Amino acid sequence: GESVGLHLPTLSVQEGDNSIINCAYSNSASDYFIWYKQESGKGPQFIIDIRSNMDKRQGQRVTVLLNKTVKHLSLQIAATQPGDSAVYFCAENAGNMLTFGGGTRLMVKP
Amino acid sequence: DSGVTQTPKHLITATGQRVTLRCSPRSGDLSVYWYQQSLDQGLQFLIHYYNGEERAKGNILERFSAQQFPDLHSELNLSSLELGDSALYFCASSVAAGDYGYTFGSGTRLTVV
């Protein structure tokens, strides 16, 4: 079946730098995408979402970009902080459930 | 606190045994989703219930079953447990079937020895 995938399993960045986490999706029928953050020992936490009729959405220090032409989603985190260290999952909704990608681990170096 | 409550937080049991994981959705949410997360793996969808009815099934083993009760809490039953069933089991809830935002609980860590 169709699935969501990630390009980079681990991303290491310096504190204060910007981070970019990428995600590829294959289901062209997906109309909604979400980024989740999962810290060690916790459940996934909603970060930001975007609908397929948009190509960019900004939140506090985070921006999600959607490129439907190449079926690509990215999460940009500005001025990355130690508290941003976590695993980040993208998810797509093409029906009644979310399908999650494999996750990218973000490590922030002080 | 996300508002989704999962119990127990940790569970250690022997192979061949049966366990029940419990989830109370966020107040007002009618949909409950169960996901399995193995070590360093993504979230694998197991099953979805909406207002007491099963709506979708993922890669859920026949040894596993779930239900949603009239008070909307849900239970995931795992039987004839194997070592490979050791994982984190997450419950998520949303307002309606097809509703887009999921709120996750903190999970139950199951260890089968």
Please state the separation of Cα B2 from the chain's center in Å: 15
Task: Outline where DSSP puts E strands in A18-84.
Answer: 19-25, 32-38, 45-51, 56-58, 62-67, 72-77
Most confident of A7-11, B19-23, B55-59: B19-23
CB contact under 8 A, A49 and B100: yes
The string of pLDDT tens digits covering residues B10-51 is 999 999 999 999 999 999 999 999 999 987 567 889 999 999
- Using the predicted structure, report yes or no on whether residue A1 has a pLDDT greater than 80: no
Residues A9 and A105 sit within 8 Å (Cβ to Cβ): yes
Return the structure tokens found at A48.
């930001």
The DSSP code for A70 is: T
- Using the predicted structure, report yes or no on whether residue A3 has a pLDDT greater than 80: no
Q: Hey, how many other C-beta atoms are within 10 angstroms of the C-beta on B41?
A: 13
pLDDT-derived band at B101 (thresholds 50, 70, 90) equals: confident
Chain mean pLDDT for chain A: 88
Show residues of chain A in contact with B56, CB under 8 Å. 95-97
Q: Which residue of B21, B41, B43 is the best one to mutate when testing the A interface, meaning the one whose CB has the most A CBs within 10 A?
A: B43
* Pairing between β-strand A62-67 and β-strand A72-77 as defined by DSSP bridges: antiparallel
What pLDDT does residue A2 have?
34
The better pLDDT of the pair A58, A25 is held by A58
- Using the predicted structure, report yes or no on whether residue A7 has a pLDDT greater than 80: no
pLDDT-derived band at A41 (thresholds 50, 70, 90) equals: confident
The better pLDDT of the pair A97, B12 is held by B12
Please state the separation of Cα A95 from the chain's center in Å: 19
Among the listed residues B104, B3, B4, the one whose alpha carbon sits nearest the alpha carbon of residue B45:
B104
What pLDDT does residue A6 have?
34
What pLDDT does residue B99 have?
65
What pLDDT does residue A70 have?
93
- Using the predicted structure, report yes or no on whether residue B95 has a pLDDT greater than 70: yes
Chain mean pLDDT for chain B: 93
Please state which of the ranges A1-15, A53-67, B25-39 shows the lowest mean pLDDT.
A1-15
The better pLDDT of the pair B44, A26 is held by B44
- Flag whether residue B2 sits within 8 Å of chain A, measured between CB atoms: yes
What is the DSSP code string of B37-95?
A: E-TT--EEEEEEEETTEEEEE-S--TTEEEEE-TTS-EEEEE-S--GGG-EEEEEEEES
Show residues of chain B in contact with A100, CB under 8 Å. 35, 42-43, 45
Q: Is A82 exposed, middle or buried (0-12, 13-18, 19+ CB in 10 A)?
A: exposed
What pLDDT does residue A4 have?
42
Q: Is B84 exposed, middle or buried (0-12, 13-18, 19+ CB in 10 A)?
A: exposed
Return the structure tokens found at B65.
């079953």
CB contact under 8 A, B48 and A96: yes
d(C-alpha B64, C-alpha B15), whole Å:
14
pLDDT-derived band at A5 (thresholds 50, 70, 90) equals: very low
